[in-house]
Amino acid sequence: MLYFLDWARFGIVDLPSYLLGTIIIVLLPGPNSLYVLTVTSQQGWKAGSWASLGIVLGDSVLMLAVAFGAASLLLEMPKLFLAIRWLGAFYLAWIGWGLIQSGLSSLKMQTEPARKVRTSSIANQLMRLHPLLAALGLSLTNPKAIFFFVSFFTQFVDPNFNQPALSFLYLAIVLQIISIAYLLVLMVLGQGLLELFRGHPKWSAVLWFVVGTFFIAVAIRLLII
């Protein structure tokens, strides 16, 4: 453990600044964290645990890709990057629209309790999708994350260190530890919201709608930038 704390051995410079920057970045709301919070608040901590595992696995794959040079491959193949980017945008939009449809159906059930409300096919498909697979898809269909990790990690890697892949792996492990801790906090918060939403189902529907709208907005941003 003490060996791991000696970050200079791994070609790392100014680890305290990296930790501060990582904490700030992790705390910024994004599709991954909002999905974990929403799933936990709707389906409980088990679903939130699966969603968190999907995010961790997806981010780990992207970070390993950074360590082993996938960013250079994407730069050399812009069409591949564009294809992954569009796939990610459509996937986000699909999840967002499903969340909105679920929220609207829930609201209709509250306002028209005697009437059988029909849920859209997209919402049904989303509800049947395992949280692990949905979260993993969210993480892996974000090619910009690869370039973010490259640009962020390189600020804290000693340019004279002869094993930069080891440095990237070290920074990735630290980031994942912080990310897992944050996801655990979100699960606790989501479990608390679950109890609250059971007594106020309309609030639950509003959460679905807000998060779904956010996902669609992010998808549109990916397509126009």
Q: Is the dihedral of CA 174, 175, 180, 181 positive or negative?
A: positive
- Give me the mean pLDDT over the 46-60 stretch: 91
**Separation CA 184–CA 128 (nearest Å):** 24
CA 155 to chain centre: 23
Percent of the chain with pLDDT over 90: 8
DSSP-assigned letters across all residues of 45-95: HHHHHHHHHHHHHHHHHHHHHHHTTHHHHHHH-HHHHHHHHHHHHHHHHHH
Helix 78-111 to helix 121-128 angle, to the nearest 10 degrees? 110
Q: Is residue 126 over pLDDT 70?
A: no
**Separation CA 97–CA 95 (nearest Å):** 6
- Give me the mean pLDDT over the 82-109 stretch: 75
Q: What confidence score (pLDDT) does residue 141 get?
A: 79
Location of structure tokens 């608040």: 41
Closest residue by Cα to residue 148 from 177, 178, 173, 168: 168
Highest averaged pLDDT of the listed ranges 51-65, 110-124, 208-222: 51-65
- Give me the mean pLDDT over the 206-225 stretch: 78
Q: Which amino acid is at 210?
A: V
CA 99 to chain centre: 16
Indicate the pLDDT class of residue 184, thresholds 50, 70 and 90.
very high
Indicate the pLDDT class of residue 88, thresholds 50, 70 and 90.
confident
Q: Is residue 212 over pLDDT 70?
A: yes
**Separation CA 208–CA 212 (nearest Å):** 6
The phi and psi torsions of 161 (rounded to 5 degrees) equal: -75, 135
